[in-house]
Structure formats: C-alpha cells, structure tokens
A = this chain, B = another copy of it.
Amino acid sequence: MFMREIELKGHIIDSLILPKVFDKILEMGGDYKVLEFEIGKRKTDPSYAKILVIGKDEKHVDEILSELKDLGAEIPEIEEVELQPAEKDMVLPEGFYSTTNHKTFIRFREKWIEVENQKMDGAIVVYPDKMRAEVKTIRNIKKGDLVVVGHKGVRVIPPEKPRESGGLFEFMKSEASSEKPKETIIRRIAKEMYEIREKYRKTGKGGIVVVGGPAIIHTGAGWALAKLIRMGYVQALFAGNALATHDIESVLYGTSLGVDLKTGKSVPGGHSHHLRAINVIMRAGSIKDAVEQGILNRGVMYECIKNNVPYVLAGSIRDDGPLPDVITDVVKAQEKMRELLKGKDMVLMLSTMLHSIATGNLLPSWVKTICVDINPAVVTKLMDRGTSQALGIVTDIGVFLPMLVEELEKLEKEKEDKDRGDNER
C-alpha cells in the first residue's frame, strides 16, 4: 500500500472534475479518502478538496497521479519537469509526455511556464535560455531538443464550464441532432460571428477560420461563402483541391462536377469541366495569376485573393490535378494550417469530415468550434477524435449558408440603423 495527497481547486463540482477524479481512481484499481473538503458557498466561490490517493505501490500511485494531472489535479509537492534530449531527428525520448489540447503549464526552474502552440498529441520542448516551452509535432523534433518526459511538473487546465448561462455554446451543449429549431440557431451563430468580426476590425486580433468542403459548391451555396468573405467574416480558409476546383468550375462553366447549378441538370461533356478548370489555372500559373489576368472574376477563391484572406488548399490522395496552389505534401500543409490558426477565436467547419478532423487536431480546446454537416456521424467522429469542444449542427449546408448570410445582413442593418439613430440624437 502506498499513498499520496492531492489537491483540487476551482469549480471542481460544476465542471465535473471531482466526480471524474473519483471515477478515475477507482477505475484504475486504486482507492481514496477525502481529507478535507470545502464547497464554494456561493456560485462564484471556488471549491477545495484534499484527497488521499491509495494504490498498490509507488508505481501504481504514480500512474494514477499522471492521469489525475490530465484532469486538472494539483500535486502539492511541487516538482520540476523532467527533460530528456531527443536522440535523433523525429524520434522522441522513451516516456515522453503526450499533450492534450487543453491549456498546459510546466514547472521549470521554480516558475510555471505556459506552453505555447498547444495542440493534442504533440510533445513539449523546453528552451531553458528563453524560459519558454512549446508543443512540437514528432516530425519537427530535432536531435537534442529537450523534451518533457513523465508527468512531473506538468499542470493541465481543462476549460471550466462557465457558470453564466445563455451563450451560444451553453445553448447548444447537448448532442448533435437534426431536430433542433434551426432559425434560432442560425441567428445565434450570426450574432457570435458579428461580435468576433467587430473585435477583429478594432484590434486586428482573433477572427474566424472557415474549413470548407465541396458540398458548399454542389449545393449551390458557393455565392454565400464568397459573400461571407467579402463581408469580412473569414480570416483564413482551409479546404482541399475539390472546393477550390468546383468553385472555379462554377465560375468558368456554371457547373459543379458537370451539374449545371442553375438548372440542376448534367451538362453534356460536363464531366470534364473540373479537369478543364484545373488546366485553365495551370496555364495561368496559379489562382492569384488567374485573378490578376481577369480569367477568374468572382467566387470563393476570387474573394480570398481580392480580400487578402490567406488559404490552405491541402492535398488529398483522391485529388484530381490538383491545382497548382494545392500543397501536395500533407505535413507541409499542416504546418501552414497551424500557423494560420494561431490566436483565432472561432473555427467554422462546413461539410468536410477530413479537413474538420485535421483542423481539430491542431486546435487548442478553448477555441470556439462549430461543425455543420448533414451527417450527424461527422460531428460524433470529430468529438471521438478529441475535438470535444466542437458543437454540432446537423443541417443542409445548401440552405444553411444562404440563411446565415441573410441573418448577418439583418444584424448589420440593425446596427447601422441604431448607430444612425445614436448619431442623430
């Protein structure tokens, strides 16, 4: 028998941290005794618990404590992180600490350092000179990098559940279902997006990343995404070859995969349109070149170029072509995506499982993440793969995007009217 004390502080009951701690201890075959417990008397007060964790031997208790740390427990005897150098490029030391997507601190030289570039499934590399630490993916590990091993000196802060009710995210906390009042939901998302845009316009900080799939174009909602970009609601676009090619095809030929978007009918010879669209861009040199040469004069990609919205078109094994702008090496594409995600406030995932999961892998858990798909399984899969903060809306992107644009326009008009009224007074 071996024991050790741990402490828990904060909204540990509301955020379900305490029940999870008890669960985990029992699940791992350990036991516990509550030594002290003080519950927050009022809703703003934090609670406090001191718990004795009991295990078979020191190793067993250490294993339990490792898990509890990931849940946010604090071990009172503060210990330094343990570091080990990487033996060669792209190889981590045995027993490396594998990151979560939650906010993480490490105890190094008696200071708590916040880890930068938080994402799940990476390793923490420490730079002693600069007193900094960051998450690196295994491919970016260089020989000699000082990597955190074990759980000692690592503190994880899972997002606490907000006590105040009423926000969009509180509202949609339940499971993804197609049977929700849709006009209400769209109105709330519009409001949230509007506020982020206003903040972005004032401060140049934050903003929205849109991750989009080709169904946006197939369902005839391409014009709505293009408009969102023009209206200033998109600070970066992540997509694949398909979205960009279908968008360009729709501009050049009026079709998406050969289907006329006006009549909904297949056009003779239409099956070759997407390859012809790619060839047009190949000849021009790039999407930007095509815009500058006047060949491409509207649509999603056009608006990106015109409004200086950076984009990542990530290659996929199923690509035709692909377009010259596509980053065919997926590791390089991930790097660029990670770069663009830094500091963003919201990610809007629209009808693409592949790119949504990819983006989720790169996101810290405190970014607002909305996933819209007609297939409820996409949301479930995204959350199963760790992006548990994602809120799912099960609907048809072809009607959702036009309605979202309409709501944003109404909202802007209201604000304008109000401002005008304010000025006149």
Query: What residues of chain A have their CB less than 8 Å away from a CB belonging to chain B?
Result: 13-14, 16, 18-19, 22-24, 26-28, 31-34, 37-43, 49, 63-64, 66-67, 87, 90-92, 96, 98, 100, 121, 123, 137-139, 163, 165, 171-172, 175, 177-185, 188, 215, 218-221, 240, 256, 259, 261-265, 268-269, 271-272, 274-276, 278-279, 282-283, 314-322, 324, 328-334, 337, 354-355, 357-358, 361, 374-377, 380, 384, 386, 394-396, 398-400, 402-403
| Contact pick for A329, options B32, B38, B269, B328, CB 8 Å | B328
Can you name the residue of chain B whose Cβ is closest to the Cβ of A400? B399
Q: How far is the CA of A184 from the CA of B14 in the complex (A)?
A: 35
Total copies of the chain = 4
Q: Can you give 17 A-B contacts (C-beta < 8 A)?
A: A13-B18, A16-B16, A26-B165, A34-B40, A90-B282, A121-B274, A172-B264, A175-B384, A177-B384, A178-B219, A179-B219, A179-B384, A182-B221, A317-B333, A322-B330, A322-B331, A328-B330
Are the C-beta atoms of A265 and B171 separated by less than 8 Å? yes
Q: A15: shortest Cβ distance to chain B, in Å?
A: 8
Which residues on B sit within 8 Å (CB–CB) of A42? 31-33
Q: How far is the CA of A18 from the CA of B288 in the complex (A)?
A: 46
Q: A139: shortest Cβ distance to chain B, in Å?
A: 7
Can you name the residue of chain B whose Cβ is closest to the Cβ of A172? B264
Are the C-beta atoms of A182 and B331 separated by less than 8 Å? no
